Structure 1
Amino acid sequence: MNDIQAAGRPAVGGPQDLFYSTANTVGLPRIVRGENIYVWDDQGRRLADVSSGAIVSNIGQGNERVLRAMYEQGKKLSFSYVRVSRHDPNSDLSEKLAKLAGPGYERCHFTSGGSEANEMAIKFCRQYAYATGQTRKTRVISCMPSYHGGTLGTIAVTGDLDFAPVYGDMVTFSAKVPSPFTYRVPQGHTAETYALECARQLETTIVELGPENVLCFIFEPVGGLSTGANVPPAAYFREIRRICSRYGVFLVFDEVMAGAGRTGKFLAADHWPEAKPDLIVLAKGLAAGYTPLGAVLAPARLVDELASLTGFNLAHTYNANPITCAGACAVLDETVESRLVENAASMGRYMFSQLRELAATSPIIGDVRGKGFLCAIELVKNKDTKEMLAPHVRAADRVRQIAMEHGMLIYARRTSGGKFGEWFMASPPLITTQSQVDEIVAGIGATLGDLTDELHRANAL
């Protein structure tokens, strides 16, 4: 009996699990160490980290360069508050990141994570609008479904039907437009025509709300778990840029998952240069899980103008922490010198080809989509009709559970109650080799084979 059981507490995994549904925590492994793309649990079982945690571990586990940089920085300076002092790691990281981001993103604001960074981006837009006399601009438009974070401000702009009943009355400044899905499109539409229809609905919403009231449109250029790595057609990106420019609305790309090289370019926005957003938000892979970090990238012209008027009047205690910045500098150095962005592009193409071969033989793979090493596999009951699996099957949960039996840790869950589909992420670290891709694809094949057999036995197919 462990201490938790002795204290009369649920032995699910620790006191932290009291905040979560037992349906989501039972059976979770207790991870004790990691190396390369693998982690080990307390039973000695090795698991390939197929989803990079939650699309975080870009450079894998145990990177000595990063750990050494953080340790050395900690010996020199562990904390410095950005509102009363300056420090070199902040300057170094800003310069490295601005150089990688390229023209138009000369200024960087660092936060403690993705939710905070998305909220800071929205606050920057608001403060700029207020300082320049556009005081009525308070409305934010986002997509349904979407995910932008877990703070109250980012829940407001997140499109998740599970959140709406709980928080809807508390957060009313956001309007929703349809996500430009490419797999499930309304009858009579192709992926491209539906994407253009979604863009038209954005324009209609701006006009209905009044352009003078609309602050920004926040969008994931390559989706995360909320849309299963959805990648809209290029025409959609051109249209949303045109619309936002026409009506004076900030275009914000949430690249918390897609940025820092994961899609095969350092910024996902670089896949669509004609749609250059005003602000870009990064997190997750930026520090690759070695330390919490988020960032807002902005053009010098906007930041400098705001600074000359009122300045940005918000900060958080751990913005640009020295140890965090030193670690992120080392992550970026590793990313560049080991050519991990290029590896994500080439190995991502290889993984997609292997997964699509698997999809051709699996009765429950409806779609494989994404870019680079940001990939999702959508599960269906019927490939011809795209009929979804019944909710009681809990297919995403079963994939996660069965995958562990095949030596894999997979990020999968139903979003919005599964209304828009059900998928899991095949998004390994950017260091993943071809032989490791083969191992992952074989494991996914075995997992889905077992799930298919289980569904047949339950008459669920």
Structure 2
Amino acid sequence: MSVFQTDVHATLPRTIGGKGTELTIEEDGQTRTVLDACGGAAVAALGHGNERMIAKIQQAAGLPYILSHGLGSKHADDLAKYLVEQSPEGSFSSAVFLNSGSEANEAALKLSKQYFVEKNEPKRVNYISRHFSYHGSTLGVLSLGGFQSRRKPYADVLNTSNFHKVSTCFYYRGAKPGQTEEEYTQQLLDELDAKFQHLGPETVISFTCETVIGATLGCVPPTKGYIKGCRDICHKYGALFVLDEVMSGMGRCGTYHAWQHEMDEGPDLQPVAKVLGGGYVPLAAVLISPKVYNVFKSGSGHVVGHQTYQDHIFATSVGLELQKIIKEDQLVERSRFLGLKLEKMLKKALANNPNVGDIRGRGLFWDVEFVQDKETKKAFPRAVGFSTKVYKAGMKRGVHFLKGVGTVDSFEGDHIILSPPYTVSEEELTKIVDVLKASVEEAQGESL
């Protein structure tokens, strides 16, 4: 095997095709189809082999490559304008396009620092983020992130002097017994404010969080008032508020931006990816607020740092077509509508299962967290591999889930994410939930 894959010992099923919500895989000499219940990592919003996307890709294949440092393109301009116009008025004024969520979050780190260089505030050298967070796999955003199992091999080279952490917003595991959601939210906001005070408010560049926590903890929505409260604290001290919507944005949670559930005004910077290219092209972006844009415009007028494939003509051309399909087919609304149905199905099928601790999510972004003891919320030991057993049982039954580990401490705690294409049917959702229920029961039989 020539590919240096994540598990160097594994012989993975080979994906040889896909159409709609189904993938065709080859394993042990046999070919079969599986229902894609996760869209990769919440990526494939239109499913696979969309005819309109195929036609667009074929048409765009003739476009040239340019280095966008010296030449512009209508395609990147059009996509940036489209994203701005699809957002609440005044939220964003521009966008820069990259290739992955990691790159987008790295760019947000750099842009936020240069923002204060332009403002002549050299004391601002500190970033605040959250424990258990994940913002990408490059060293800069691993320093920003707080998911220890992904940081561990690189811990001695990560920056701990300029990157600081506060508690994440995870009511199911973070709240004290008897603590109301309102009390828990205020506790977190007080902690963030105290962190600003401890570091010196004039030294903080930004606070970054995921609007809805993604793969690491599993589709965790914020408590009421938390996101807006964080924004208010940042702006009180003159820092930037950055919302990472790489996984949760672009309609995945039932609104175009996940923060639209929480507040009317957007963040200062917003990294997005995944559904931006929908798996058809590698594509990410940082959406930039007028406040940030105007500081650059009135300052040096120059953004330091550029990448070879930034604002790529082919990728932005294809990405714009995908976003137009999402709007024209009303798929954000469909995500919201089907998400409500999926929530009811999951809770009916699994809420009373003794090893299901929590069912949470929004839109077509749902998670089932498994526990060994429902009352204490004690997780299965990692060695049990509970979520892996559920995943394998699902594949055996023809449904592909996204499995995760680390909901308790970055190392232990099992969960399964459901993030199907926005084009999924109600009948397919029923199958997904039925197979998940049977797969959980099979895993219980092997583990208890």
Q: Which residue of 1 aligns with 2:414?
A: 422
The verdict on how the C-alpha distance between 1:383 and 1:27 changes in structure 2, with shifts beyond 3 A counting, is farther
SS in 1 for 2:447: helix
Distance 2:155 2:367 in 1: 29
Out of 235, 242, 249, the residue aligned to residue 239 of structure 2 is 249
1:68 corresponds to which letter in structure 2? A
**Structure 1 unaligned runs (5+)?**
1-13, 457-461
SS of 1:169's equivalent?
Answer: helix
The whole-number CA distance in structure 1 between the counterparts of 2:295 and 2:412 is: 42
Q: Does 1:68 align with 2:55?
A: yes
1:7 corresponds to which residue? none
Distance 1:28 1:190 in 2: 45
List aligned pairs for 1:263-274, cutoff 5 A.
Answer: 263-274=253-264
Structure 2, unaligned stretches of length 5 or more?
none
Task: Check the 8 A contact 1:129/1:137 in 2, yes or no.
Answer: yes
1:188 Cα offset (Å): 4.3
Structure 1 residue aligned with 2:388: 397
- Residue among 278, 289, 307 paired with 1:299: 289
CA distance in 2, matches of 1:85, 1:296: 20
Equivalent pair of 2:351/2:359 in contact (CA under 8 Å): no
Deviates more, 1:254-263 or 1:42-51: 42-51
**Partner of 1:162: helix, strand, or coil?**
helix
1-side partners of 2:265 and 2:190: how far apart?
16
- Contact 1:50-1:426 at 8 Å conserved across structures: yes
| Runs of 4+ residues deviating >6 angstroms | none
CA distance in 1, matches of 2:410, 2:263: 33
- Per-residue CA distance 1:74-119 (angstroms, 9 max, x = gap): 21x2311111111111111111111112322121111111110011
Q: Which moved more, 1:269-278 or 1:237-246?
A: 269-278
Corresponding residue SS for 1:16? coil
Equivalent positions of 1:163-178 (< 5 A) are 163-170=150-157, 171-172=159-160, 173-178=162-167
Report Cα offsets for 1:291-322 as digits up to 9, x if no partner. 10111111234213303322212211111111
Instruction: For 1:278, give the aligned amino acid.
Output: D
Moved more, 241-250 or 347-356: 241-250
Measured after TM superposition, the shift of residue 288 of structure 1 is 0.3
CA distance in 2, matches of 1:240, 1:334: 33
Structure 1: distance between partners of 2:185 and 2:195: 15
Distance in 1 of aligned mates of 2:139 and 2:77? 30
Cα 1:397/1:313, change in 2 over 3 Å: same
Cα–Cα, structure 1 residues 300 and 239, in superposed 2: closer, same or farther, change >3 Å?
A: closer
Secondary structure of the 1:15 match is coil
Give the drift of 1:337: 0.8
- Which aligned pairs between 1:219-368 and structure 2 lie closer than 5 A? 219-274=209-264, 276-310=266-300, 311-368=302-359
Alignment check: 8 A CA contact 1:251 1:279 kept: yes
**Separation (CA, whole Å) in 2 of partners of 1:168 and 1:154:** 13
Match of 1:179 among 152, 159, 168: 168
Alpha-carbon distance in structure 1 between the residues aligned to 2:333 and 2:199: 42
Aligned residue identity for 1:220: E
User: How far off is 1:413 after superposition?
Assistant: 2.4
Secondary structure class of the residue paired with 1:281: strand
Greater share of helix residues, 1 or 2? Answer: 1
Aligned to 2:106: 119
Return the alpha-carbon distance in structure 1 between the equivalents of residues 138 and 337 of structure 2: 36
Which shows bigger deviation, 174-183 or 411-420? 411-420
Rounded Cα–Cα distance in structure 2 between residues aligned with 1:219 and 1:193: 20
Question: Mapping of 1:102-251 within 5 angstroms?
Answer: 102=88, 103-170=90-157, 171-172=159-160, 173-184=162-173, 185-251=175-241
Partner of 1:438: 430
Structure 2 CA distance for aligned equivalents of residues 229 and 35 of structure 1: 26
Take 1:375 and 1:94, find their aligned partners in 2: how far apart are those partners?
Answer: 29
CA distance in 1, matches of 2:205, 2:144: 12
Cα pair 2:282 2:315 within 8 Å, conserved? yes
| Structure 2 counterpart of 1:95 | 81
Determine the C-alpha separation between the residues in 2 that align with 1:115 and 1:293. 11
CA apart distance, 1:227: 1.9
Cα contact 1:27–1:401 (8 A) shared by 2: no
> Per-residue displacement from partner, 1:186-225 (whole Å, max 9, x unpaired)?
3342333223212211111111111111100110011101
Residue type of the alignment partner of 2:319:
A
Deviation at 1:420, TM superposition (A): 6.5
CA contact (8 A) 1:225 1:424 kept: no
How many residue pairs match? The answer is 439
Which residue of structure 2 aligns with residue 384 of structure 1? 375
- Map Cα deviations across residues 344-393 of structure 1 (whole Å, 9 max, x no partner): 00000000100001123422111110110111110011222222112210
Q: 1:238 to 1:93 in 2, by over 3 A?
A: closer
Q: Is the 8 A contact 2:386 2:447 kept in 1?
A: no
Verify the 8 A CA contact 2:76 2:311 in the aligned structure 1.
yes
Alpha-carbon spacing, 1:300–1:241, altered in 2? closer, same or farther (3 Å): closer
Q: Secondary structure at the match of 1:367?
A: strand
Taking the aligned partners of 1:418 and 1:158, their CA distance within structure 2 comes to 11
Partner Cα distance (1:306, 1:420) in 2: 44
Q: Give the secondary structure class of the aligned counterpart of 2:347.
A: helix
The residue identity in structure 2 corresponding to 1:245 is H
- Cα distance in 2 between the residues matched to 1:348 and 1:408: 18
Q: What's the CA shift for 1:433?
A: 1.4
In the TM superposition, what whole-angstrom CA distance separates every residue of 1:239-298 from its partner, at most 9, and x where no partner exists? 212211111111100000111111100000111125631111110001101010111111
Q: Per the alignment, in what secondary structure is the counterpart of residue 253 of structure 1?
A: strand
Q: Quick one: distance in 1 between partners of 2:127 and 2:265?
A: 19
% same residue: 29
1:296 aligns to what SS in structure 2?
strand
Contact 1:291 1:324 in 2 (8 A): yes
